[in-house]
Amino acid sequence: MSTLRVATEAVQATALASRIICFLAFTADLFHGAQETYQIGGLVDRKTVGDAIGDLSDAHNNLKGCNTSNPDNKDLRRLVREIAELSSRLLNIITEFEEAEAKGREATWPGLLVVGQSLCREKEVLQLKDDIQCYQDRVIAMLTSFVRPMVDKLMGLMSDRNVITGYSDIQDVVKSLNEGISACTRMHGDIQFQHLLRVQQEELERIRKFRILNILEYDRMRHRRNEIQGQLAKIEEELTPYGGIFPWAFGVDEDEVGDEDQMLKYRVRDDFADWLASEGGTFYVRGKPGSGKSILMEYLFSHPTTKRELEKRSNCNKVISLAHFFSTLTGGDQQTLTGLRRTLLHDLIDQHPNFISDLGLSEAELDDKSITHWGGGNARNALSSALDGIIGKAIKSGTCVCLFIDGLDENKDPNQPGHDDLIIQLKAWQDLGVKLCVASREDPAFEHLRPQKIMTLHQLTYSDMKRSVTQWLHQLEDVSPETAEILERDMPARSGGDFLWLALAKKDARRWLSAQTDVEFAQLVLGDMPPTLEGILSKALDSIGDGKHGQMKTSSTLLMMRLLETYNLDLDLTGYSFLDAYFRDPQFADRLYKSRLELSDEATQSSRAVSARRRLATLCGGFVETSRDSQHLKYTHRLTKGFLQRVDIHQRLLDLSKGCNIGDMTSNLILASKILTLTDGRTMPATEVQQLLQIRIDGALDKKSYTFLNIFDSLPLPIDLLKPSRTGITDEDRNKNHSRNDSKTASLGLKLMEKLYCSPFCILTLRGMYEYPSWKLQNDPAYLNTEEEIFLSD
């Protein structure tokens, strides 16, 4: 391929890709709105437009300093291939966009919208056509800001004095493209050009915002709040016909009959209203574990009255209202002070991008795609100073800044034990004039915050619990009115304001409630219920399962939850639906891949999930449930988790499990879920394969720990594992001082791995278990039939 052709294709492909990138950014803005601009679902590997621009820039930067005397310079040809491939992928999305035009009244847009989302074919399409006619402005802006610099660099590269062949023609190509861009900008005149510059700046700012948000976001950052929002939505849906949840927070609780309790609620309501109306100050929600603090915090934060009252306190009608929910159950940065700062700064920048310049980030820090190097490597101080600086600036400008922070007692930074750093940070925000609404268990440490107002939640929720019991009883058609009246009165009273206790009590009551249950018996059973949460958890554990086999499956499930947490794994309802299949045949996963097509259609999957949810509720209700967003199994509460992980309870579960191999069960159920959800051409990611194998290896679950790898022989290759370099293996081999024979076996393992590119057993090779290839060949001689040529060089 001549240098002229290479250069010409590079320039043309770059221009084409830039136009398509701009078009995609624009259409994304149409469909998703400003907050999700650049998040294009159709790009390969879930890439965004920002990533695509980064890819093009990185590819071009690879050309810096390369020798161009070779007319077929490989770096330049690689640039062409990368840009051309990206352009092709983007064009495919545009093709999908165009084909959707002809699909009739209801059209889905597979490359641009989330799966299943539809676009109504009337006003939306007319608006779309009108908007698309205007996208040329953005194209020109993108060309002037992105293509021209790349063309200039390419021209500089190709104008090397050693390049002779086709030199003038290359210059003509570049000159022509530059003139075309200039002509496009001139034809709009000076006013239009100024507009284009503004559009260009807007695009660049959006890209910068997207990159910053990507850096600030951390794993499962939204998980806890999403869970709380889902729970609140479910509670409101169920209780609205009965008076709703927390009506006393902003109004009057019509169900409260006690004068003293009603006056207490009036006082708390007025206290919260006074705090909202104040210039600053701290409102402290405290309560016993399980009293509903997180639900209340989300309710207060998202209620329209809160926003309206905060706007009244702002000198400029501007409000910065942010929330964070600490969670030891979620773990990671969701339970650290650093996570708090990242969440708040992320949401602040997302809602108010005009503060981006106050971060003072260099391009190098943005390009790093990681927060670890902010502030010269001191990310913690950089985060703190950036957040405090922006908050201070906002308050000085007359903006009302209000932070809702839940679960202060769940701040568990392993590097900073205790709550001293958190309290120091909260006091610093108090000094800046930030309005704080915080919640925690009753802990004297947080009273040092000098709260302006205090709410003790479990003293206020009797009528809320009564409404919950009433709604539950209305779902049961086999309870007499007299018995229902006793339950409505006594269950909330005995709960002591603990919603978790009430949930477990309702589950226990289902065992003995019937149409024949009389008042005396109901009172007797309720009187025998343990008044403490620990007591009722123990009682619930006594009644787990449905017979001997049910106890074994329940205890095995509860033990599995701890193992999932240890290995940072998740199990969804699809995998759990095979629990009974595993107990019938522990080797069921070996054959599952062959029959997956019969089980993987949407209706079958949905039916399996519904059945698995019922099975989970029957076996482990009150202890384990599924998350609403991901359908993964999780503990119902951190108190439940703490109870089940006590040494005595853990031993009790081991006894009930009758020696069930928990690691084997877990790995097979997860593998079953993955196999059933695999689509054509896809296999399990490397990290998941590693985690499953780690369980087997650490638990010595097989006579040979790698026997489990045979299951993967039924999966389509390649399994998504990165091929390690020879140097990496050699260094590992040398560091571990393996014997000469081990090194020889390692070489065999490397050749197998290189031949298959990525095979399940490469993980064991990397772990130093170099005997696996020999074991595989001894136990499966037919393996040589297809890989014979690998050994010819030995």
How would DSSP label each residue in 296-354?
A: HHHHHHH-HHHHHHHHHH-TTS-EEEEEEE--TTT-GGGGSHHHHHHHHHHHHHHH-GG
Average pLDDT over residues 705-729: 47
Q: State the DSSP H helix or E strand holding residue 765, giving kind and residue range, or none if neither.
A: helix 762-766
- Going by C-alpha positions, the residue among 5, 161, 155, 153 that lies closest to residue 72 is 5
Q: Is 221 exposed, middle or buried (0-12, 13-18, 19+ CB in 10 A)?
A: buried
The tens digit of pLDDT for each residue in 343-364 reads 999 999 999 998 988 887 776 6
Instruction: Say what the pLDDT of residue 37 is.
Output: 31
Phi, psi at 453, each rounded to 5°: -135, 150
pLDDT band at residue 104 under the 50/70/90 scheme: very low
pLDDT band at residue 22 under the 50/70/90 scheme: very low
Range of lowest pLDDT (454-468, 504-518, 583-597) = 583-597
Q: Is the pLDDT of residue 425 over 70?
A: yes
- Going by C-alpha positions, the residue among 245, 349, 331 that lies closest to residue 292 is 245
Phi, psi at 641, each rounded to 5°: -60, -50
Q: Is the pLDDT of residue 477 over 90?
A: no
Q: Is the pLDDT of residue 154 over 80?
A: no
Q: What percent of the chain has a predicted confidence (pLDDT) above 70?
A: 57
Q: Is residue 245 left, alpha or beta, with left meaning phi > 0 and alpha meaning psi from -120 to 50?
A: beta
Q: Is the pLDDT of residue 180 over 80?
A: no
Q: Can you tell me the distance from the alpha carbon of 373 to that of 757, in angstroms, rounded to the nearest whole number?
A: 34
Residue 25, token pair as written in the block:
């950014």
pLDDT band at residue 376 under the 50/70/90 scheme: low
Sheet holding 400-406, edge to edge: 319-325, 400-406, 435-440, 282-286, 453-456
Q: Is the pLDDT of residue 317 over 90?
A: no
Query: Would you give the distance in Å from CA 78 to the centre of its chain?
Result: 35
Handedness of CA 29, 30, 36, 41 (dihedral sign): negative
Q: Can you tell me the distance from the alpha carbon of 781 to that of 774, in angstroms, rounded to the nearest whole number?
A: 10
Average pLDDT over residues 661-685: 77
In this structure, how many other beta carbons lie within 10 angstroms of the beta carbon of residue 767?
16
Q: Is the pLDDT of residue 131 over 90?
A: no
In this structure, how many other beta carbons lie within 10 angstroms of the beta carbon of residue 78?
13
Instruction: Say what the pLDDT of residue 699 is.
Output: 72
Q: Which residue has the higher pLDDT, 322 or 588?
A: 322
Average pLDDT over residues 455-480: 90
Q: Is the pLDDT of residue 117 over 70?
A: no
pLDDT band at residue 609 under the 50/70/90 scheme: confident
Q: Which residue has the higher pLDDT, 405 or 103?
A: 405
Q: Is the pLDDT of residue 707 over 70?
A: no
In this structure, how many other beta carbons lie within 10 angstroms of the beta carbon of residue 542?
9
In 187-258, which ranges are continuous DSSP H helix?
189-216, 223-239
The tens digit of pLDDT for each residue in 482-494 reads 888 899 999 999 9
Query: Which residues, 6+ apart, have CB-to-CB distance to 693 below 8 Å?
Result: 706, 708, 709, 760, 763, 764
In 433-498, which ranges are continuous DSSP H helix?
462-475, 481-495
Average pLDDT over residues 568-583: 90
Half-sphere exposure of 646 (CA within 13 A, CB side): 12
Residue 233, token pair as written in the block:
């939505």
Instruction: Say what the pLDDT of residue 8 is.
Output: 46
Instruction: Say what the pLDDT of residue 618 is.
Output: 86
Give long-range contacts, CB 8 A cutoff, 24+ apart: 624-631: 624/557, 624/558, 624/561, 626/572, 626/573, 627/223, 627/227, 628/226, 628/227, 628/230, 629/223, 629/226, 629/227, 629/230, 630/570, 630/572, 631/572, 631/573, 631/574
Q: Is the pLDDT of residue 38 over 90?
A: no
Cα-based distances in Å from 291 to 233, 287, 338, 460, 468: 17, 6, 27, 10, 13
**For the chain, counts of helices (H) and of strands (E):** 36, 9
Which three-class secondary structure state does DSSP give residue 635?
Answer: strand
Instruction: Say what the pLDDT of residue 599 is.
Output: 62
pLDDT band at residue 2 under the 50/70/90 scheme: very low
Q: Which of 121-135, 512-526, 536-550 has the highest mean pLDDT?
A: 512-526
Instruction: Say what the pLDDT of residue 533 is.
Output: 87
Residue 579, token pair as written in the block:
């629990």
Q: What percent of the chain has a predicted confidence (pLDDT) above 90?
A: 25
Q: Can you tell me the distance from the alpha carbon of 373 to that of 31, in angstroms, rounded to the nearest whole number?
A: 35
- Going by C-alpha positions, the residue among 222, 241, 240 that lies closest to residue 232 is 240
Q: Is residue 658 left, alpha or beta, with left meaning phi > 0 and alpha meaning psi from -120 to 50?
A: left
pLDDT band at residue 7 under the 50/70/90 scheme: very low
pLDDT band at residue 48 under the 50/70/90 scheme: very low
Average pLDDT over residues 101-107: 39
Q: Can you tell me the distance from the alpha carbon of 341 to that of 335, in angstroms, rounded to the nearest whole number?
A: 11
Instruction: Say what the pLDDT of residue 557 is.
Output: 93
Q: Is the pLDDT of residue 383 over 70?
A: yes
Cβ(502)–Cβ(491) under 8 Å? yes
Residue with tokens 């009758």: 658
CATH topology of domain 223-459: Rossmann fold (3.40.50)
- Going by C-alpha positions, the residue among 670, 770, 763 that lies closest to residue 722 is 763
| Mean of all residue pLDDT scores within the chain | 71
Q: Can you tell me the distance from the alpha carbon of 174 to that of 158, in angstroms, rounded to the nearest whole number?
A: 10
Phi, psi at 557, each rounded to 5°: -65, -45
Strands (E), 109-161: 118-120
Range of lowest pLDDT (270-284, 344-358, 439-453, 540-554) = 540-554
Q: Can you tell me the distance from the alpha carbon of 332 to that of 318, in angstroms, rounded to the nearest whole number?
A: 33
β 624-626/633-635 pair status: antiparallel
For residue 625, list its beta bridge partners: 634
Q: Can you tell me the distance from the alpha carbon of 46 to that of 483, in angstroms, rounded to the nearest whole number?
A: 56
Range of lowest pLDDT (125-139, 362-376, 604-618) = 125-139
Please provide the distance, in angstroms rounded to a whole number, between the alpha carbons at the two ends of the chain: 38
pTM recorded for the entire structure: 0.68
17: amino acid identity, one letter: A
Handedness of CA 543, 548, 553, 556 (dihedral sign): positive
Q: Is the pLDDT of residue 426 over 80?
A: yes
Residue with tokens 């820039």: 57
- Going by C-alpha positions, the residue among 59, 197, 199 that lies closest to residue 138 is 199
Tell me if the bond preceding 781 is cis, omega within 30° of 0: no
For residue 107, list its beta bridge partners: 119
Q: Is residue 682 left, alpha or beta, with left meaning phi > 0 and alpha meaning psi from -120 to 50?
A: beta
- Going by C-alpha positions, the residue among 280, 345, 347, 349 that lies closest to residue 310 is 280
Instruction: Say what the pLDDT of residue 686 is.
Output: 61
Q: Is the pLDDT of residue 787 over 70?
A: no
Q: Can you tell me the distance from the alpha carbon of 531 to that of 729, in angstroms, rounded to the nearest whole number?
A: 60
399: amino acid identity, one letter: T
